[in-house]
């Protein structure tokens, strides 16, 4: 009986410490808008692997880059369908250029996001965690990065 009560006390202490530490981890995930407007700037990082977004009729109209202290990288992107007809936006159509020169497609993009001819829509997309900030978000229709 005595061993069992120590077990329950130990579990309660463990659970209490998890709940107390949870807000500390959550505060690191608060996103802040990254300062400075780099939109329209051209960067000349090497791209030997020829990593580019999948060809599409989508254009990034504007973007707001955000990050957390833990290195989470997120962007709010306004994208426009320049095709004559509806198109489905896929993660491979969008790419981020990071400050170390790497290029990645988003990991947090809803599947089957349909945009009509000329439609613009703002979406929030995630690029995961990275030590380097995002410099630009682009599609095949935007400037070459």
pLDDT digit string, tens, across residues 89-100: 999 999 999 999
Cα separation, 106 vs 132, in Å, equals 15
How distant, in Å, are the alpha carbons of 24, 29, 119, 144 from that of 13?
18, 25, 54, 55
Total-model pTM: 0.75
pLDDT of 85 higher than 60: yes
59 backbone dihedrals φ, ψ, rounded to 5°: -130, 135
Check residue 90 and report its DSSP letter: -
User: Which residue, 116, 141, 1, is CA-closest to 58?
Assistant: 141
The position carrying tokens 């802040």 is 32
Q: What is the C-alpha separation between 87 and 89, in angstroms, rounded?
A: 6
Of the candidate ranges 32-41, 48-57, 58-67, 102-111, the one whose mean pLDDT is the lowest: 32-41
Residues contacting residue 68 through CB under 8 Å, at least 6 positions apart: 28, 29, 30, 31, 32
Q: pLDDT (tens digit, 9 = 90+) per residue, 20-48?
A: 333 333 445 798 888 765 666 788 899 98
Q: Exposed, middle or buried by CB within 10 Å (0-12, 13-18, 19+), for 39?
A: middle
User: Per-residue confidence at 52, pLDDT binned at 50, 70, 90?
Assistant: very high
Whats the size of the chain, residue-wise?
A: 145
CA nearest 28: which of 60, 69, 57? 69
User: What is the pLDDT at residue 10?
Assistant: 41
Flag whether pLDDT at 17 surpasses 80.
no
């Amino acid at each position: 009986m005595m061993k069992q009560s120590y077990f329950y006390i130990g579990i309660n202490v463990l659970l209490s410490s998890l709940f107390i530490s949870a807000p500390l981890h959550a505060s690191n995930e608060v996103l802040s808008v990254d300062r400075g407007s780099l939109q329209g700037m051209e960067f000349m990082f090497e791209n030997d692997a020829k990593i580019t977004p999948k060809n599409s009729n989508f254009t990034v109209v504007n973007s707001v880059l955000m990050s957390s202290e833990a290195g989470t990288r997120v962007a709010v992107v306004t994208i426009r369908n320049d095709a004559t007809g509806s198109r489905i936006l896929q993660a491979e159509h969008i790419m981020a250029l990071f400050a170390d020169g790497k290029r990645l497609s988003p990991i947090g993009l809803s599947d089957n996001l349909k945009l009509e001819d000329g439609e613009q829509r703002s979406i929030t997309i995630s690029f995961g965690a990275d030590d380097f900030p995002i410099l630009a978000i682009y599609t095949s229709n935007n400037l070459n990065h």
